[in-house]
Amino acid sequence: MLALAFAGLTLALIYTEIARLFRPYTALSPAQLTALVNREDAVVVDLSASGDFEKGHIAGSRNVQASALGPEHKLLAVAKERPVVVVCRSGQASADAAAKLKKAGFTRVHWLDGGIAAWQQAGLPLVKGRG
C-alpha cells in the first residue's frame, strides 16, 4: 500500500512539473513583478472581490472581476501588447485567468505566483481603498 501511494504521489509530482513547464504564461515573484511594473509599465489586474481589494491591493493595480476578464474589457483592450500581470489572493484564480488571456491573444501574460499572500510575505506594502 505504501509503495502504491508513493508511486501515485511521484506521478502527480511529475505531472505538475511538466504542466508548469508548458503553461502559456510566466510566473513572477513579487520582486519580478515590481521590476516589470517599473521597467515596462505592466498592467496589474487584481481579481479579488471588491471588498478584499479595498482592504488591500498592490499600488496601481486595477480591480476586475474574473467573470468580466477578457480581451474586450476596456482596461485590457488597450494593453494587448503591454505586459499584463494577473493577481488574486492566493494565486489560484489568477493562474486560470492568465491562461484565458493568453488564449485570447495577449502576448505578454504573467501571473503573480502565490498571489497577494506572497506579496505580503515578501514584506511589500498594500494600498487600501478603491485604488
Closest among 4, 8, 26, 34 to 99, alpha carbons compared: 26
Q: Look up residue 26 and give its amino acid.
A: T
51/4 Cα distance (integer angstroms): 45
Active-site option among 85, 88, 112, 116: 88
Q: Is 3 a catalytic residue?
A: no
Catalytic residue annotation: 88
